[in-house]
Amino acid sequence: MRRIYIWACVMAAATGAIFAGDWPQFRGPSASGVGDGAKPPVTWDATKGTHILWSVEIPGLADSSPIVWGDQVFVTTAISSDPKQTFRIGAYGDTDPVNDNSPHKWEVLAIDKKTGKILWQQVAHEGVPKTKRHPKSSQASPTPVTNGKVVVAYFGSEGLYAYSTSGELLWKKDLGLQNAGWFFDPDSEWGAASSPVIYKNMVILQCDRQKDSFIAAFDLKDGRELWRTARAEIPSWGTPTIVAGKDHTEVATNAPKAIRGYDADTGKQLWSMGPNSEVVCTTPVSAQGLIYVTAGYPPVQPIYAIKVGSSGDLTLKDGKESSDAIAWSKQRGGVYLPSPLVYDERLYTVANNGVLSVYDAKSGTRIYQQRVGEGGSYVASPVVAAGKLYISSEDGDVFVVKAGPQYELLSKNPIGEPILATPALAGDLLLVRGAKHLFAIKE
């Protein structure tokens, strides 16, 4: 308990005070996907209005996730002037992007957590998108981030924007063309998806693109660039993760050419390792003194458990699955789109086809593997609270599975529209973003 308390204090000092009920970034505190203290519902039916506190239609098309601070929920969206634009769900391997050249509006919205009323709605940018998007993606895929004072939204090639929690534009920054797509075919533009994260007085952004990739930190007050580190990297879509260590705070990043760690205060690269998948979409998570990284694009589909505080080239020698810096690893079993989570000393991963795999987080021993539901396609990352996993399918169902060493499905709950965004946890609320609406679910 003392270690947990100390860790909580370190993270509060690093990112600003986070209280029960706050979900400040993609996958919540430290990108963990864990809602400590949250007590979300187990059963509901949005198609019948059962246990739905409120729902609000969000204009446009976006698979960015909702975030929560206090009594406000923040979401982003991109509104095409072409009303026929939609997501293409299901399992497919097409690489062709959606070529929507219609004028768009990129917006940030604040919603009252108790009532669903839209408190403010600001247009960040208007114009024709500078890049195309993947059929499962959108022009507003990155999730915003907040520290309770500033809300930062990233729209890829359309820029980085900071607002006060009352909706005042504080600053904006043009980061240039963020052309992220299939490295084999530069014309296959898929759109940016890596979300910004906040550390101390800065917002950190991972920009992996076809040329001149980088990671950089910007002052929350005025957008001034504090540090920038070039990355010899091809496009990736994972969000960086802040990891508090004994000697320094690290930024863990996941990408095809290398998995890397940086000093969060200076941007200096601390460590790197490979091999990794050629297409990387997942976000690292940290627990048990380890950083867990997974990727699922074949043929390399690794899982790595990297020790916090490592340095140098951590690449394992041929035939080795562990080292002084790597607690354990696997070259098969990594997942492609949903990011992993660690809960009660177990690592949980969900594959695109809905196969849930559970491992001992310290040793890597697989405990069980089970398909959730009846197949389908899964893009959203799982979240967990109160001993229950929440796993969302593109078909519009959220499966509640008991966390633990044995598979137990507790409920299957329809939303009534496709789900590509990761849910948020806020006290006794579960916030689920469908293709058209944001739902606040309370039992």
Q: Is residue 199 within 8 Å of residue 239, measured between CB atoms? A: no
Q: What angle do CA 183, 186, 190 make, to 5 degrees?
A: 80
Q: How far apart are CA 202 and CA 292, in angstroms?
A: 24
* CA dist list (Å): 161 to 44, 187, 418, 428: 36, 27, 28, 30
Strands (E), 174-323: 197-199, 202-207, 213-219, 225-231, 241-244, 249-253, 259-263, 269-273, 285-287, 290-294, 303-307, 312-313
State phi, psi for 10 to the nearest 5 degrees. Answer: -60, -45
* Helix (H), strand (E) counts: the chain: 1, 33
Query: What confidence score (pLDDT) does residue 85 get?
Result: 87
| DSSP-based three-state secondary structure for 432 | strand
Q: pTM of whole model > 0.85?
A: yes
Question: Which among 76, 46, 51 has a CA at the least distance from the CA of 61?
Answer: 76
250-265 core/surface letters (b: 16 or more CB in 10 A; e: else): bbbbbbbbbbbbbbbe
Q: What angle do CA 76, 297, 375 make, to 5 degrees?
A: 75
Query: What confidence score (pLDDT) does residue 17 get?
Result: 47
Query: What confidence score (pLDDT) does residue 20 get?
Result: 59
Q: Tens of pLDDT along the chain (443 residues)?
A: 334 433 444 444 344 444 557 999 999 999 999 998 999 999 999 999 999 999 999 999 999 999 999 999 999 999 999 988 888 888 887 778 898 899 999 999 999 999 999 999 999 999 999 999 998 899 999 999 999 999 999 999 999 999 999 999 999 999 999 999 888 887 889 999 999 999 999 999 999 999 999 999 999 999 999 999 999 999 999 999 999 988 899 999 999 999 999 999 999 999 999 999 999 999 999 998 999 999 999 899 999 999 999 999 999 999 899 999 999 999 999 999 999 999 999 999 999 999 999 999 999 999 999 999 887 899 999 999 999 999 999 999 999 999 999 999 999 999 999 999 999 999 999 999 999 999 999 98
Query: What confidence score (pLDDT) does residue 67 get?
Result: 98
Query: What confidence score (pLDDT) does residue 283 get?
Result: 98
Query: What confidence score (pLDDT) does residue 16 get?
Result: 43
| DSSP-based three-state secondary structure for 74 | strand
What H or E segment, with its residue span, contains residue 11? helix 2-15
- Gyration radius of the chain's alpha carbons: 20
